[in-house]
Amino acid sequence: MYRLITGIAGPSGFGSASTAEQVTQGIDASNLTAIITGGASGIGLETARVLALRNANVIIGARNLEAANEAKQLILKDNNNARVHVLKLDLASLKSVKTFADNFIDLNLPLNILINNAGIMFCPYQLSEDGIEMQFATNHLGHFYLTNLLLDKMKETAKSTGIEGRIVNLSSIAHIHTYEKGIAFDKINEKRSYDDKKAYGQSKLANLLHANELSQRLQAEGVNITVNSVHPGLIMTNLFKYSGVLMKILKFCTSILWKNVPQGAATTCYVALHPSLKGVSGKYFVDCNEFKPSRFARDKVLAKKLWDFSIKLVNAA
């Protein structure tokens, strides 16, 4: 908490006050291709901008193509050498996820970095087109399916280039506020027991568990790809559109803890690009430093159960 408030750097040399540009200073990513989901606004856009600034080839996956193309133009306005592509992606639709993955594969590009950034927060109860509770569908299941679809491309790229692949899941400190058993497997779509805050926490816990389980599987295979999770911090972005007055009051009362967007994108960019994290996998980062997540997040049995559960949901859809 002291470091969060003061911005004092942790063991990595960076802290809560560090920006995405600062943590990637001097890094040349010109030989890297990165996909960023939700890169049309907020910290996703800042992540895309900074990776492009470091010369990475950036693909923005976004539901709103108009907003994504506007984001692309903003990046190009400040950096006319930026390599930025836009592809449609609606994570609440497994069909859209499959189409996005197919369209990316058709570009015949390598894939070094996958940043599972997009998400929704505290929305009223609703189901996705596949019949899955919307926060779980968008924040976890869409990214789970997308990652699986792109994994062979990432393995192929890592093997042929010798460059370590990196997958980054955006989780949240909110993963500690979830349902009683962590993941409510038997009530995942139940309206009666739905709690918008706990459902969000559940989806963010799922992001962590997914990263940890995938990390173990890739290590067992001897694949040169790392998988980590990050908490970006408290940032007022479009994620809070369902929270209105409540979040304005919260921000007023806790203003000292909130970050701006460049600071919010720092941990993502650090984990995606920084050479000091070569070979580091299955970890959780806060303010660009490794942090111990909740008991549920460290539960390997729960992670395996979520993996199997997610496979069944995808197959059923």
- Reading the block at residue 214, the tokens are 């995938």
**Cα dist. 261→111, 127, 237, 258 in Å?**
26, 30, 8, 10
- Block residue for tokens 């087109």: 129
Tell me, what amino acid is at 48?
A: A
Helix (H, G, I), strand (E, B) or coil at 195: coil
**Chain mean position to CA 291:** 17
What CA–CA distance (Å, rounded) separates 141 from 137? 5
Q: What are the residue numbers of the active site?
A: 194
Is the alpha carbon torsion for 78, 84, 87, 90 positive or negative?
A: negative
Q: In terms of Cα–Cα distance, which of 178, 197, 205, 44 is closest to 121?
A: 197
β-sheet with 113-116: strand ranges across: 83-88, 57-62, 33-37, 113-116, 165-170, 225-231, 284-286, 289-290
How does DSSP classify residue 234? B
